[in-house]
Structure 1
């Protein structure tokens, strides 16, 4: 039971002295904060009531069953007339689920051991090793064990990710970005891959989330810039026209004061024109408007093009287009997939293209998988596109091969 600040706007209950608030074994639907008076926490041992604690103003109680979903481990009654603030299960769970996974794991572990300790003290039972076999366990216990197991696995993966950074276990694949009107390769997007020695292939969305939460994204991001820059030099040597390399930038990198300096240093060392490095950012990276706006101003002054990735999937896309000066808008694959068979998808893509053009931005569509989709985008005036229809992300050797021979779909036609 922990001290808590007052929750504003929550329900309050006046309870008379001697009234039972909840009994041991009841469902844990609410927790309470004592605003006035005191509350007695008790249990029954050998048929006799035993007072465990008397709690006063500012203390929360009843939260254990609220979080782990098990029944009450003790009873609570009003020791005096009390005023309680009621805290619902939804309010607590929403905050627990939004917390860092490792913090959640620690919370669940502490709760499990607290319940074991309480059981030992109140029942005189010897502590037993955790039961691995789930047969006969209640659903809340199974759910708790599952959550702890998932969080422990995330901690293990974080440790493995640190080793991967030190040992450079990553590789980059490159997906060509096509100039839709001509069918020529205009540039590439660098996409990181991690093949763990123990786990095999790990999806980028899994390990990048861990990297962002632990700041490992900073050394990983620095490595990506350098490796993709080297690849750009190799690919540009095979092209008559200047190519660009798109690099994804995470919000944690934007927040890092030295990131821009690091970016410039690597690009200069490799002899690359800043205009050839396209920085892709997500809408959520722009939530801290002051930091994001300053960063955008800084990199634009240095000549780096900026692209808003996954456009249309967030809540404030139009606001961002109005507030920030960006060079490219990237239509999310979820809108592209419906082209050729869904009228609404074509209308939405047309609206995005028209909006971008009105703001002086070029448009890139991602997730193009069919000739029909490519043709609709061409008719709508979309500038560039990428997707498996043209090529999946490939290692540098295959990307070089793409530069030495024409793409098989250089002039895409709609499928019959």
Structure 2
């Protein structure tokens, strides 16, 4: 059997509702800022997690018209990560690209259908290459001039985590030395918002001037706020990183996946627990070693209870003292990008020894009775190992473990 390689994260790029870079995003989360707000003149009618940063600096308008916002979002995060990584041309050419997205270029697709029916004016857009789900990965690989591989995963809300996990496996098992992996999503259109409304999973907006529509694990929670964003991580074998003098942010030390096999919409605690257990087993880890868990926790009534039950199933008595938090109250639910953003935040939390809070938490649900790091960030000087949960509609579960280097 081939010897497994140690895999480290050496650079991170992000675009989220609370920051245009990874550093801005993490700092804002630790400060307890909320990026969910009204998106004026959008026709959406609900508060959402919108990326306010300029995600297309230097992109020629003619080129931008041939790309959906999801591709621009992914390119922005990839550009930041690659600039921080400082790779040479040969290293870029051998860099694999792995991107997760829930739906791909749906904004352009919606616009094309509306233009066809005369609802909006037609624009000179090449719809097929702009709308195809693998467009973000293809464009990033083209920019890198990569001849390795460019893969796309569309496993709903776990897609970004799956992309990172599969890139991790490629490097660990010796197929690649370096990869760029993460997720991107941009679906804030009236049409898509109406589709989500059908499922009755979106949170009720708070009173004017107040924050906190999405309140994971809280009593009287009503659902999630739809969001957009992207996160891309540079992964390398520890040997490759050391040879070029790159300082690791954290080590990826476990990856577990499972499929609920039960219902297309309702999650299952056994399936989620299986993914967490497989992640720990993959890294040769025990549940008692985990110091922090970044939860999927979208803020739906049933979902948060099921995840809490799954955590208890895996961690036993340790679950009662394990810090668990969700960042979805701060940025909303970025669907296919969520797992990547949360994995990136978990890696940075391990590196810095501080974990983000669960915003707007209100006790009262007796089925959600863990330590959810309510309200304010928590410094954890002894933080060495953390887990990030990501669960997708359709039953796809992906869990990543990060260790301090």
Normalised to the residue count of structure 2, the TM-score between the two structures is: 0.30
Structure with bigger helix share is 1
> Greater relative contact order (Cα 8 A, min sep 6): structure 1 or 2?
2
Higher radius of gyration, 1 or 2: 1
Normalised to the residue count of structure 1, the TM-score between the two structures is: 0.29
